[in-house]
Amino acid sequence: MAQTGNVIVIETPFDKEIAEETAKLNATVIMYGDASQQEAVDGKLRLQKGMSFARNAARALFNNKAEGRAVQGRGDLLFDAREDKSLLERTDELPEELQKMTVEEREKFVKEKQAERDAINKKIGELSAKRTEWLKTEGEKKRLEAVAATRPMADTPLARPTSPAAPAVDAEPSFDRSVSEIIQRQSSKVAGE
């Protein structure tokens, strides 16, 4: 396998809108916890901002299927408080804005944010279903085009057998095959000296 993992990213007509909805979803994240936990969540959000529309859409689909999360792991109060209501009672690791609220005000705030997130997740789910359907039809054509574009031409060292007795192999470049060919060339040079 090539070191890229042979991952082919196919952009769809839905990716930009999914990325826009994902940005709205990420705005509902309420980071809490100690500094390292908050930094981890912030890092995940920043990483997602830098992704292409297609990668962002694939990530949004994954998170949407994971119970509507905005980020994976702990550190999003909105998601984590669904499982542990006591998080809303503790103020030491909450954002300053929430520390000033009573428990009842926090619960109301979180409930409103959750309703906002649910609406966004519904929209992402609908767009993701359209994206998945598009990938089943048009995406396969694009994937085959991308695979063909990554294969070396027939008369390149990667496409040729390394010796007359060696069988022809798939022309897909790989790290292992490249290293093997370099070693064989170096061995031939040393043997010829």
Instruction: Please report the pLDDT score of residue 166 as a whole number.
Output: 42
pTM higher than the cut 0.75 = no
**CA distance linking residue 144 with residue 29, whole number of Å:** 38
**Domain edges within the chain:** 15-150
Q: What DSSP assignment string belongs to 78-130?
A: HHHHHH-GGGGT--TTS-HHHHTS-HHHHHHHHHHHHHHHHHHHHHHHHHHHH
Instruction: Please report the pLDDT score of residue 168 as a whole number.
Output: 43
Instruction: Please report the pLDDT score of residue 130 as a whole number.
Output: 94
For 159, the token pair is 């496409």
Helix (H, G, I), strand (E, B) or coil at 27: coil
Neighbours of 98 (CB within 10 A): 16
Mean pLDDT per block of 10 residues along the chain (193 residues) reads 57 91 92 91 86 82 76 87 88 89 94 94 92 86 73 52 44 60 71 61
* Residue matched to tokens 């409103």: 112
**CA distance linking residue 24 with residue 77, whole number of Å:** 16
